[in-house]
Structures are given as structure tokens and as C-alpha cells.
Amino acid sequence: MNQAILQFIVTQTYKDLSLPQPPQPVELDKLNIFIGSNSSGKSNFISCLKFLKNSLTTI
């Protein structure tokens, strides 16, 4: 069974993610490594992806 792969995500007002204005897409691949200083939003971005995953339903 083929699964769809999320290619990019755009967040707007999710927790304290401070992406550029206007919001720009973050491109994703099969493997993604998030690097940044403390309090830069890495965990919140992962939380956003989990929220999206939990929001999806199978039709």
C-alpha cells in the first residue's frame, strides 16, 4: 500500500512558532533533521506535525 508523503507544511499561529511573515512553507523529505538553539521552536514544530497526524482520518 502506497502512503502519501507530506512534502511541505505552512504554520500560522501554532504555539510560539515564529516563521517569517508572510508564512513560508517548510519543505520536508523522507528524513528531516531539525537543528537549532534552545527555544527556537524545534519541539513545537514536531508537536505541530503530531497534531496534524492525529487530525487525519482514513477514508
Over residues 15-42, the pLDDT tens digits come to 877 666 787 888 999 999 999 999 888 9
Check residue 19 and give its pLDDT.
Answer: 61
Instruction: Report CA-CA distances (Å) from 15 to 11, 19, 32, 40.
Output: 10, 11, 21, 12
> Does the pTM of the predicted model rise above 0.95?
no
Check residue 52 and give its pLDDT.
Answer: 87
Domain boundaries, the chain: 8-55
